[in-house]
Amino acid sequence: MRRRLAWIGWLVAAALAGTAVAAEPQVPAGAAADAAALERYVGDFQLAPTAVMSITRDGTRLYAQITGQPKLEIFARGEGDFVYEAVEARLSFELDAEGRATGLVLHQNGKAVPAPRIDPIVAEHIAATIRTKIEGQTPTPGGEAALRRLIAGIASGTPDYQELSPELAGAVRRQLPRLQPSLSHLGAGQSIDFRGIGNQGWDLYDVKHEHGTSQWRISLGADGILAGALVSAGP
């Protein structure tokens, strides 16, 4: 049976189906906003190079959707403060003098991921790039080589942090004591097979080791820097 080792990247995938359901959000009296007030939060906010949080409104209901994930309703808990009912996460919006959201922060699993507001044209360009990747189902140039270096670096306890985004580097540092023995136990990598492009535009790989297998999702930027990674392992 496969077992997930760890996220070693930003936490956008935590909203996928199967995440533990949070308790009913405690919304204080008077926190519910009218349509005009909610419109201040509507827009696109960039969590990562290939991840956009889109906030939309339907009447007096507000929704958040991360690239490649379902649209989920969020509930007002206070001025600029919203919670999910479907997942254990919270959004806090940064407001300008007119009360319009200029950015947001995703709070989840003890982490705070900032996301500035971006122009709709930029958001559509990111979405179009991901659609093209998904349709093409071809690996990102340099992805396999970057993954090999990441695996070798984690297994040896000496990742090259300069090849990782600041967010990913921080996550690897925190999780290295747990990741290193798991990958070391699997032994040296023998082969890497590209499986395709996932619905968030990430490259999917199967890695065969001496004593088992690991499955990876990676996000490699045009600058050759790894922005995110997820690994699970099996026998």
Q: What is the CATH classification number for the domain harbouring 190?
A: 3.10.450
170 within a domain of the structure (yes/no): yes
Give residue 68's domain range.
15-131
Q: What residues does 71 pair with on adjacent strands? A: 65
pLDDT of the residue at 10: 37
Please say whether the beta carbons of 207 and 187 come within 8 A: no
Main-chain phi, psi angles of 88, to 5 degrees: -85, 85
Flag whether 195 is in a domain.
yes
Give the whole-angstrom CA distance, residue 107 versus residue 133. Answer: 29
State the pLDDT at residue 49.
82
- On the 0-12 / 13-18 / 19+ scale of CB atoms within 10 A, 172 is buried
Strands 3-7 and 101-108: unpaired
Q: Which of 101, 70, 104 is nearest to 87 (CA)?
A: 70
Question: pTM of this prediction?
Answer: 0.72
94 with 153, same domain: the answer is: no
Q: Are residues 119 and 38 in the same domain?
A: yes
- Cα 214–203–17 angle (5° rounding)? 80
The whole-number mean pLDDT for each consecutive block of 10 residues of the chain, a chain of 235 residues, reads 40 29 39 76 91 94 91 91 89 93 90 92 93 94 94 92 88 87 84 92 93 90 88 73
